[in-house]
Each structure stands twice: as structure tokens, then as C-alpha cells.
Structure 1
Amino acid sequence: MNRDITMLTSSKQGYTNMNQTGAPWQILALRYSENKKRTRRDSFIFASKPDAPHTMDFFFWVLRRGEEVIVVDTGMDTAEAARRDRPILHAPVDMLTSIGIDPADVKTLIITHLHFDHAGCIDAFPNATIHIQAEELSFATGAMMTNDALRLPYALDPITTIVTRLHKGDVVVHDGECAIAQGVTGHLLGGHSAGLMALTVQTRRGKLLLASDVAHYYESVTKGLVFLIVVDAAKMVHGYNWLREHAEGDISRILPAHDPLIRRVYPEVAPDIFDLSATPDHQLLDELGSSST
């Protein structure tokens, strides 16, 4: 049995409130789109069973404690979704509104990376301070964007928006590990994109690893599979190792970005909104250890 698999078993207004300092965060995953047309060869380099279906879910996230809110990534807008044939199940802005969050009131927005499905609605947050890694900003606006393959996961409108907001003074550009809020830390890992950032978040069940696209699926981590869209494969594998190390042997502490298993493992608290800080289905997570490669 793969050593890595055996190790990873389970064991409204203003949105700032300093009185919440030290309290745990709730993490909500908002599922706004899906792609059921994919196969395993669309996900992984040298995929086993390459023609087998491999659905991808699309999430963005909300960190919440009391009235304090941090939005992590913004999903994709309807125009880009149509262009790429990704059906929008719920407009990201509408999902926020449905849980009492007005994007205009959000003060902190974290962009883990600038791919089209993570940064498509930044302009809906006019009053937010935006946090991003310097390496991601540099890559997405630099010479590598002349290459068709490297440019493919990016869209022009989010890049234009982030640069405009940068010039307005709305963007905090980080270089490596960064404290974004009390109990929320960013970690530069790269791999899938040049400046990809994961987060550690303190919740009621301890420290959780909001992986974003450091891990698209649980099996990315448990099997070390290299995702098809990659800037640096070595850094991608390092990211998996980093997640395993910081999860301390408990896969339930890792929160992947695109895995439909999220919907089975965590409770749904509103239509297509899942509480990742709640107790997961550990038995289901343990079954990952017996899945074949």
C-alpha cells in the first residue's frame, strides 16, 4: 500500500469586529459551478483509467466569525463561464447575498491565484483590501503570458481589474508566508500557478488547511498525482508534501478546491453551501485509503 495513503487517515455590516479576536473561524465552501464532462486524463498527467469520468466542482470560500467576514477567491463571471462552457449553477454574488453578505461591505478579499475560476468577480468587491502573492501578480502580468498554454487558465478581465486596484492602493502584495488576519495565515506554495497561496485557518476543530488549488482533489494529496495544468511540477509535489506534514496525519484537516467529495463529507447548511469547519464524515474519508491508483 502507498505509504502516503496509509499515513493520511482521519483521526452584515462592515464585517469588522475587533471583539472577535481569538474566536475560531467558520469556513464555508460555496459551490457555484460544476463540470461533468471531464475524464481523468483532463485532471492528471499519466492518469490511470484515463477515460473514466472525473467530475470537477468549483468552489469559493467564506471565512466568518460573528460579523467579521473574509472572502477567499471570487469564482468566475458569467461571460467567462459561457466562453469556457462551464455552467454557472449560482452566481457567486447571489450566493453571498443569500447568506447575508453584501460584497460591497466586504473589507478583506484573498485571491489565492488569478486563474479564471478563482478571480472572476473581483470588481464586485469595490471596498475590499485584496491580498495576493507577488509571484502570482508578476507571473500573470509578465512575459510568460505570451505562451498559449501558460496563459490558458487566465482571463484578461480579472488581470486588468487587479492591476487597476493595485494602482488605486487596494492591493496588499505578499512575498511568502503572511498573516492576513488573526487566525488566518497565507502560505506561498506555487506549482499549479506560479504564486499559488494556501491558507491555514483556526476553526472550532483546530487548524485547517484551505488548500485552494494546491490540491484539486483529495487523491491529489493521497496519491501525489500531478495535475494537468502545472507551472512547476516539483513545487506541486512539494505542496502535497506540505499539506501532509501540516495535516499531521489527519486528512480531514486538508480542504481541496475542486473535489465533489466535499459535498458528501461536510454538511450542507444552505443550497450548495457546505460548512468545512463542522465535523466531517471520517468513515468516508478513510475509504480514500483503499481506492486504487
Structure 2
Amino acid sequence: MTAEYELFALKYAMRPARRHEHFIGGDPHDGPMPMDYFVWLARNRDRSVVIDIGFTAESGGKRGRKLERDPIDSLALLDCDPATVEDVILTHMHYDHVGNFHKFPKARFHLQEPEMHYAVGRHMRHKQLARSFEPDDVCGIVRLNFDGRVTYHNGPADILPGISLVPTGGHSAGLQFVKINTKRGVVVLASDVSHFYENMETYRPFTTAFHIGDMLDAFDTLRAHAARPELIVPGHDPLVMQRYPAPSPKLEGIAVRLDVDPK
């Protein structure tokens, strides 16, 4: 029997933004469109798996982003101790997904190998691409690899019972999304394959792009891996916090459950 997980999204920051910032080509009906920042937790009786680990106050501050709460310390709100986590999935290496690796002393980090090649390769001479990466974060993951704590994947992978990875590229060269088996079915955690529901619903990619064609194809890949559309969860959309229930009243506005159907 396939392992089943509880699945949570924990919001740790937001930024005010406008619609034209989120769609290549802008938007004819420009207006406010804020962006939320999440880390995700999948857990069952056997293990806790953290998916993406947010940005630090320092790296966020450089970009005008402010933490509402420390994303890793806040895992305690979901009864997760980072010191005991053995597996962390990095969907990609952008600063807001990889900034707190040092807070997981025991974890093995799962990453698509092309993403590391991209993060240390020739494309980083282009400021338009490099600005999404924090050099100290990249170097930190390199050091973890020297310590034997990074597992590189080259293509789809079943990394644990009930948890698998699917690479797409596009937004970043080695971007991947995560499939998690839950009691409502296999949730397709898109991360930045689709920042907002609207990106994939209208086939208008987000403005940070390595390969636009791959970004468009990735929307089809998300759908192909989801038994029904509501099982796809985008990576930065405030609607996630509105559509899903909080684990408890005290976590209202902080965390939601993704292993249950939308409200």
C-alpha cells in the first residue's frame, strides 16, 4: 500500500505587487496582485519531509522582502522539528526556496542536477538570470554535496514511498514539481512551475524565465500528472490560503491543509 501523507502550506512572507509583474507581456487590467511565500510540509507516522525552505531575513531584505515569520522556526507550529528532518526537497535554487539549508543538520537535500549546473554555470554572468540566486546559498549547497548530503536527480524520481519528483525546467533550468500521496489523492505541488493559478489557467508564464517554451509545456505536464485540476497547488498564490482550511483556529492565516479538499 502506498504511503499517505498529511500536507501543509505554511506562509512565511508576502509582498505587495501588481498584475503586470506576474505575466510575460504584462496585463491589460493592471491592479494589485500580492504574492505569498510558502514552505510545505508532508508528514506521516514514519517521516516528515520539507519541500523548499524559504529565504532568510538577509537575502529577502536585499530584495525588499520582509519575513512575517521565520519559515523554519515556524515549522514548530506544525509539530515539526527541523533538527529531526531527514529529507528536504528543493524544487529549484532561487533565493526564496533554498535560503535556510543550515537549519537542517541531519537532512539529505534532493535537487535536479541540471539546476546546480545552471546555478554555477555560464548563465550566471547575466544579471537578469543571476538576480534570482543568492551566491551564499549556492555555495552552501555545494558544500553540503561535498559532505555527501545532496542527492542529485536527472529526471523523474520516486524518492520516498508516496513522494515523487517531476522536472520541467522553464522558470529555472532544473525546476521540478512534487507529487505527494494524500487521503484526497495525489497532490501536485507545482511550486514555481505556476506561481499563480492564473498563470497555468491562462497559459501566461511568470516574468522570471529561463526558457519560455518549457514554461508553457510545463503547464501541460502539471495537468497530465493531476487526476483533476483542483489537485494542483501553485507556488505563490494567496488564493491557496483562502481555498484551503487551517489546521487549527490558531493557525488561521498562517498555515493550511492541502491534504483535504478546498473549502
TM-score (norm 1): 0.86
Partner of 1:256: 234
Partner of 2:21: 42
Q: Is the 8 A contact 1:198 1:210 kept in 2?
A: yes
Is 1:65 aligned to 2:65, yes or no? no
* Letter of the 2:22 counterpart: S
Query: Of the candidates 257, 280, 283, which is equivalent to residue 262 of structure 2?
Result: 280
Q: Whole-Å Cα distance in 1 between the matches of residues 61 and 24 of structure 2?
A: 26
Q: Whole-Å Cα distance in 1 between the matches of residues 64 and 162 of structure 2?
A: 37
Q: Whole-Å Cα distance in 2 between the matches of residues 98 and 67 of structure 1?
A: 19
Q: Is the 8 A contact 2:52 2:97 kept in 1?
A: yes
Task: Give the fraction of aligned pairs with identical amino acids, expressed as a percent.
Answer: 33
> How far is the alpha carbon of 1:235 from its aligned partner?
0.5
What is the SS of the residue equivalent to 1:92?
coil
What is the SS of the residue equivalent to 2:133?
coil
> How far is the alpha carbon of 1:40 from its aligned partner?
1.3
Partner of 1:217: 196
What is the SS of the residue equivalent to 1:191?
coil
* Letter of the 1:251 counterpart: P
Q: Is the 8 A contact 2:188 2:233 kept in 1?
A: yes
Q: Whole-Å Cα distance in 1 between the matches of residues 110 and 73 of structure 2?
A: 22
What is the SS of the residue equivalent to 1:118?
helix
Q: Whole-Å Cα distance in 1 between the matches of residues 198 and 113 of structure 2?
A: 29
Partner of 1:181: 160
Q: Whole-Å Cα distance in 2 between the matches of residues 196 and 245 of structure 1?
A: 17
Partner of 2:3: 23
Q: Whole-Å Cα distance in 1 between the matches of residues 237 and 170 of structure 2?
A: 18
Provide, for residues 45-103 of structure 1, a one-character-per-residue CA deviation record: whole Å limited to 9, x for no partner: 11323531111000010011125100001000111111111110110122112222221
Q: Whole-Å Cα distance in 1 between the matches of residues 217 and 197 of structure 2?
A: 15
Q: Whole-Å Cα distance in 1 between the matches of residues 3 and 153 of structure 2?
A: 25
Report the structure number with the largest CA radius of gyration: 1
* Letter of the 2:19 counterpart: R
Alignment of 1:95-106 (within 5 A): 95-106=74-85
Structure 2: 5+ residue runs without aligned partners?
none
Aligned length: 259
* Letter of the 1:128 counterpart: A
CA shift in 2, pair 1:202/1:243, >3 Å: same
Alignment of 1:93-172 (within 5 A): 93-172=72-151
Q: Is the 8 A contact 2:194 2:205 kept in 1?
A: no
Is 1:230 aligned to 2:209, yes or no? yes
Q: Is the 8 A contact 2:113 2:174 kept in 1?
A: yes
Instruction: Calculate the aligned-residue CA RMSD, in Å.
Output: 1.2
* Letter of the 2:55 counterpart: M
Q: Whole-Å Cα distance in 2 between the matches of residues 125 and 268 of structure 1?
A: 25
* Letter of the 2:88 counterpart: L
What is the SS of the residue equivalent to 1:117?
helix
Q: Is the 8 A contact 1:39 1:50 kept in 2?
A: no
What is the SS of the residue equivalent to 2:95?
coil
Q: Is the 8 A contact 1:78 1:88 kept in 2?
A: yes
What is the SS of the residue equivalent to 1:221?
helix
> How far is the alpha carbon of 1:246 from its aligned partner?
2.2
Is 1:192 aligned to 2:192, yes or no? no
Q: Whole-Å Cα distance in 2 between the matches of residues 261 and 197 of structure 1?
A: 22
* Letter of the 1:122 counterpart: F
Query: Of the candidates 239, 242, 245, which is equivalent to residue 221 of structure 2?
Result: 242
Q: Is the 8 A contact 1:221 1:244 kept in 2?
A: no
Q: Whole-Å Cα distance in 1 between the matches of residues 261 and 86 of structure 2?
A: 28
